[in-house]
Chains A and B, each alone.
Chain A
Amino acid sequence: DIQMTQSPSSLSASVGDRVTITCRASQDISNYLVWFQQKPGRAPKSLIYAASSLESGVPSKFSGTRSGTDFTLTISSLQPEDFATYYCQQYRSYPITFGQGTRLEIK
């Protein structure tokens, strides 16, 4: 199985801040990585797919990058609605695996 190691597990930030979340794959997954946002009681919502492509309708303050097996999600100018839990997920090979999540909280 490909392990997805996400960090940090939690993060406190203020409205207007810029934050970065990292996900490291245990082996090469090419660009087959998606970032999801999940709010309490809701299904995950895709933000970035193929490591750096912005999902339709998602604000451009969300961006993704890849460097080898390291992936980052950056959120600029945090707004109250951005405080949620974020997950990465690889779809390069079976079994499909997720990172353990990053809980973004208001400072």
Chain B
Amino acid sequence: QVQLQESGPGLVNPSGTLSLTCAVSGDSISSINWWSWVRQPPGKGLEWIGEINHSGTTNYHPSLKSRVTVSIDKSKNQFSLRLSSVTAADTAVYYCARRPSCPGGDCSVNYFDYWGQGTLVTVSS
């Protein structure tokens, strides 16, 4: 069974950098998947942040692109998120998720099929 687990500081200072890691078990980070980050401000909807694949190719939401870096660590079977220059608007539950990369050319399954439990990150001094 595939499992994802987020970890990182729950409190970040304004103007600082948010850093989270997602540990993957039950699947190899080198498999043909996209490894994604999604966030949800308290009481609000879901927002896709960005993703990375096994070869290190990344895609980012245009509104966050200037502040976001997603990286991969194959030796630890995990991937990470860094979001710089944070403000209170970045306070949210951050989820990591897996998205299969069109296996056998079937892109109908190219959606988030496994999620972490989520971790709340609060931006405050």
Q: Which residues of A contact B (CB under 8 A)?
A: 1, 31-32, 34, 42-46, 49-50, 53, 87, 89, 91, 94-101
Contacts and interface: CB of A to CB of B under 8 A. Distances in A.
B48 A96 contact: yes
A97 B49 CA distance: 10
Interface of B: 36, 45-48, 59, 61-62, 95, 97, 99, 107-113, 115-118
Given A32-B110, A43-B117, A100 B45 contact: yes
A70 B72 CA distance: 37
B59 A94 contact: yes
Main secondary structure of the interface of A (DSSP, over half): loop
A83 B46 CA distance: 18
A89 B46 contact: yes
A44 B115 contact: yes
A95 B46 contact: no
Contact of A43 (B61, B111, B116): B116
A50 B108 contact: yes
Contact of B112 (A1, A44, A94): A44
